[in-house]
């Protein structure tokens, strides 16, 4: 099996959680297993895992595992968590479902429960998961109902071996003193530290699991240390909770309410503070304040989350050229490295830097072409699309002329060309995604590539699921799902990575309108940290917020 490369992002993040506590024999009951499973499930959902959970699973536990494994696709990130009883017998490791009544003889030892290796085989069978993490809190001494012979003993799991071809990590408790499931707290000792560490952002799984082990070891006065086995090649760093300044972490199968709330504008075009006129790009900060390129009012607006505070932070409501004037601004982004705003002053053919502390005037940093779309990566490099040169350039310190990273071969529809590139986004693998608007497609240019790959549209303008009609705003999340504003189809579409077609997530089907479930000429897109979707509903002169539904 080929090893994943360092810093690649998974296709999806999938978790299977099994919490068994209500065992047949009273002495084997576990009071906290269900609570542990529920708490971990809730936490993983908050960091965009697609969670499958079962509690108190009887002899069909392996069926539950099999059904889950059938969902796995190439490059998925897999987490398996079991809390319950486990043991080692006859030099084999087992996870024990609720009912062990079928154990009659020594030869039936496999019926004690689900063998750990069988689960691992299921997880990797005919699939190539990005990384698999197996977390087992299951080593409390277990008393068999009908032990076949004295040869079969309930011992802690041991002798777990890792397949060198599998990117797999296992962390496991070792006995009752470590697990502490008979304690009075909300979670057992092991899971308590697991929950504290697993939600940490931008900490690779190897470091995170080692910290769980060390924290448990210290808290039980160095009596017992959980097992941690790391089967990841040295060049792999995998993250459960990768947090990016620019790339949202959205659940794979997220849904949004069909009816939006207008959070800015919406009373028709005008230049008063409470109205907008053809809004385009927008940015949502961590406090959910909205910053809007109010294009035909030639200004940048700031709206508080509840809309009660509205301010003009740049521009004079009429077009002009100067440090405090704009003409048809098309986009605004925030540079988290230098702590300032970048604005595309489209009709003035320039890019401006607005120092957030002053908010009085802007400095010109690029000049002389049809600059439209803006994007920023986590390292502070600026990406700018140029509708006149039909290209995208990346700019960094000491490089005032930039480097072409997409297009640059003239106007056209070949894979090494672009035709009026508008909005852009830098994806989780540092690829550049471009709304190639007049080609009715979204094109991905990997870093250093000489031509692009069509990832949405490209089948001519139209309303079908495989088509786009003048795409504009776009966002790519941490698992590579693309969200694109389909301007002339009045909808926002989601295209999963490597999908042959997209699906509509907001907007009435094909029809323009101004109702809560309709759009007219959507342009800029943004997510807040909760996953709510904001859309610049350009021709309705408003910003719509579609709330994410609770998963």
pLDDT in tens, 444-490: 999 999 999 999 999 999 999 999 999 999 999 999 999 999 999 99
Range of weakest confidence among 119-128, 218-227, 311-320:
119-128
Mean pLDDT score, 368-395: 96
Instruction: Indicate if the pLDDT at residue 415 is higher than 90.
Output: yes
**Pair (217, 284) in one structural domain:** no
| Domain end point (choices 166, 196, 230) | 230
Mean pLDDT in residue range 222-243: 86
pLDDT score, position 42: 94
**Residue 6: per-residue pLDDT:** 47
CATH number for the domain that contains residue 58: 3.40.50.1460
Inter-residue contact 53 to 94 (CB < 8 Å): no
More confident residue, 271 or 114: 271
455 versus 60: which is more confidently predicted?
455
DSSP symbols for 472-520:
EEEEE-TT--EEEEEGGGTEEEEE-TT-SS-EEEES-SS-B--STT-BS
| 111 band by pLDDT with thresholds 50, 70 and 90 | very low
* pLDDT over 50 (residue 150): no
Where helices occur in 257-408 by DSSP H, the ranges are none
| Phi, then psi, of 62 in degrees rounded to 5 | -65, -30
pLDDT at site 151 = 42
Residues 6+ away with beta carbon under 8 Å from 42: none
Category of 160 on φ-ψ map: left (φ > 0), alpha (ψ -120 to 50) or beta: beta
Return the exposure string of 515-534: e unless at least 16 CB atoms fall within 10 Å of the residue's CB, then b: eeebbbbbbbbbbbeebbbb
Average pLDDT, rounded, for the chain: 86
**420 in any annotated domain:** yes
Does 340 lie in the same domain as 193?
no
* For range 290-302, the mean pLDDT: 97
Domain stops at, among 184, 214, 230: 230
Of 40-49, 129-138, 242-251, 268-277, least confident by mean pLDDT is 129-138
> Is residue 407 in some structural domain?
yes
Task: Kindly state the average pLDDT of the residues 114-131.
Answer: 65
Is the pLDDT at 39 greater than 90? The verdict is yes
Is residue 19 located within the same domain as residue 103? yes
Shared domain check, 263 and 155: no
Task: Using DSSP, state whether 365 is helix, strand or coil.
Answer: strand
Least confident of 95-104, 235-244, 300-309, 362-371: 95-104
- 66 confidence band (pLDDT: 50, 70, 90): confident
- C-alpha pair distances (Å), 388 with each of 49, 349, 381, 384: 42, 10, 22, 12
- The tally of domains found in the chain comes to 2
Among 173, 196, 230, where does a domain finish?
230
List the 85-89 sheet strands across, edge first. 85-89, 92-96, 114-115
In the predicted model, what is the mean pLDDT of residues 489-513?
A: 92
Is residue 194 scored above 70 in pLDDT? yes
State whether 214 and 304 are in the same domain.
Answer: no
User: Mean pLDDT throughout 247-265?
Assistant: 94
Which region among 75-84, 120-129, 260-269, 459-468 has the lowest average model confidence (pLDDT)?
Answer: 120-129
pLDDT in the model for residue 94: 72
Say whether both 184 and 274 belong to one domain. no
Collapsed DSSP state (helix, strand, coil) of residue 131: strand
DSSP single-letter state for residue 522 = E
Is there a domain that residue 170 lies in?
A: yes
pLDDT at 435: 98
Task: Evaluate whether residue 7 is within a structural domain.
Answer: no
pLDDT higher than threshold 50 for residue 178: no
Q: C-alpha dihedral over 453, 243, 44, 84, to 10 degrees?
A: 110
What pLDDT was estimated at residue 129? 79
The answer as to whether 248 is a domain residue is no
Weakest mean pLDDT among 92-101, 164-173, 273-282, 373-382: 92-101
The pLDDT value recorded for residue 27 is: 78
Instruction: Tell me, yes or no, whether 60 and 190 share the same domain.
Output: yes
In a domain, 237, yes or no: no
Cα separation of 379 and 338, whole Å? Answer: 10
Residues 191 and 291 in one domain: no
Shared domain check, 334 and 226: no
Domain range spanning residue 367?
Answer: 255-549
Q: Is the pLDDT of residue 216 over 70?
A: yes
Comparing 144 with 471, the larger pLDDT belongs to 471
Q: Which residue has the higher pLDDT, 5 or 332?
A: 332
Q: Residue 204: its pLDDT value, please?
A: 93
Give the model's pLDDT for residue 154.
53
CATH number, domain at 459?
2.120.10.30
| Residue 240 covered by a domain | no
Report the pLDDT value the prediction gives residue 141, as an integer from 0 to 100. Answer: 62
Q: Are residues 385 and 516 in the same domain?
A: yes
Same-domain status, 377 and 450: yes
Say if residue 306 is in the same domain as residue 386: yes
Residue 61 placed within a domain: yes
């Amino acid at each position: 099996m080929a090893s994943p490369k360092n810093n690649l992002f998974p296709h999806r993040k999938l978790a299977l959680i099994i919490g068994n506590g209500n065992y047949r024999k009273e002495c084997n009951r576990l009071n906290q297993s269900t609570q542990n499973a529920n708490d971990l499930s809730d936490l993983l959902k908050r960091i965009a895992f697609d969670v499958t959970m079962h509690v108190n699973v009887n002899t069909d536990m392996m069926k539950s595992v099999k059904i889950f494994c059938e969902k796995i696709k190439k490059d998925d990130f897999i987490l398996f968590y079991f809390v319950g009883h486990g043991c080692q017998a006859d030099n084999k490791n087992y996870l024990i479902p609720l009912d062990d009544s079928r154990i009659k003889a020594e030869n039936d030892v496999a019926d004690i429960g689900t063998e750990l290796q069988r689960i691992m085989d299921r997880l990797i069978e005919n699939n190539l998961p990005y990384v698999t993490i197996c977390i087992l809190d299951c080593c409390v001494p277990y008393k068999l109902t009908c032990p076949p012979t004295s040869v079969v003993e309930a011992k802690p799991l041991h002798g777990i071996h890792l397949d060198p071809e599998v990117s797999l990590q296992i962390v496991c408790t070792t006995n009752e003193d470590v697990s502490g499931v008979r304690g009075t707290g909300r979670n057992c000792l092991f899971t308590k530290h697991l929950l504290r560490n697993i939600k940490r952002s931008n900490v690779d799984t190897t470091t995170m699991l080692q910290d769980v082990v060390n924290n448990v070891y210290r808290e039980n006065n160095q009596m017992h240390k959980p097992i941690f086995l790391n089967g990841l090649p040295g060049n792999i760093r995998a993250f459960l909770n990768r947090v990016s300044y620019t790339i949202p972490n959205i659940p794979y199968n997220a849904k949004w309410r069909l009816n939006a709330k207008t959070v800015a504008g919406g009373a028709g075009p005008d230049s008063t503070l409470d109205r907008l006129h053809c809004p385009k790009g927008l940015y949502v900060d961590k406090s959910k304040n909205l910053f809007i390129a109010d294009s035909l009012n030639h200004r940048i607006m700031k709206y508080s989350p509840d809309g009660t505070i509205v301010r003009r932070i740049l521009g004079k409501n009429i077009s002009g050229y100067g440090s405090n004037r704009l003409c048809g601004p098309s986009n605004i982004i925030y540079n988290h490295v230098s702590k300032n705003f970048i604005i595309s002053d489209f009709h003035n053919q320039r890019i401006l830097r607005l120092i957030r502390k002053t908010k009085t005037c802007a400095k010109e940093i690029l000049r002389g072409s049809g600059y439209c779309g803006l994007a920023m990566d986590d390292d502070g490099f600026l990406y700018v699309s140029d509708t006149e040169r039909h290209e995208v350039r990346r700019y960094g310190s000491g490089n005032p002329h930039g480097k072409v990273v997409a297009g640059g071969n003239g106007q056209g529809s070949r894979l090494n060309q672009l035709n009026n590139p508008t909005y852009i986004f830098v994806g989780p693998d540092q690829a550049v995604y471009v709304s190639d608007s007049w080609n009715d497609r979204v094109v991905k240019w990997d870093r250093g590539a000489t031509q692009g790959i069509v990832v949405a549209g490209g089948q001519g303008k139209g309303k079908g699921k495989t088509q786009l009609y003048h795409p504009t705003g776009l966002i790519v999340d941490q698992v590579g799902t693309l969200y694109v504003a389909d301007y002339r189809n009045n909808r926002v579409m989601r295209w999963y990575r490597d999908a042959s077609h997209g699906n509509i997530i907001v907007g009435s089907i094909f029809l323009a309108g101004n109702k809560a479930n309709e759009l007219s000429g959507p342009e800029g897109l943004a997510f807040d940290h909760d996953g709510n979707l904001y859309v610049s509903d350009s021709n309705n002169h408003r910003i719509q917020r579609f709330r994410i539904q609770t998963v």
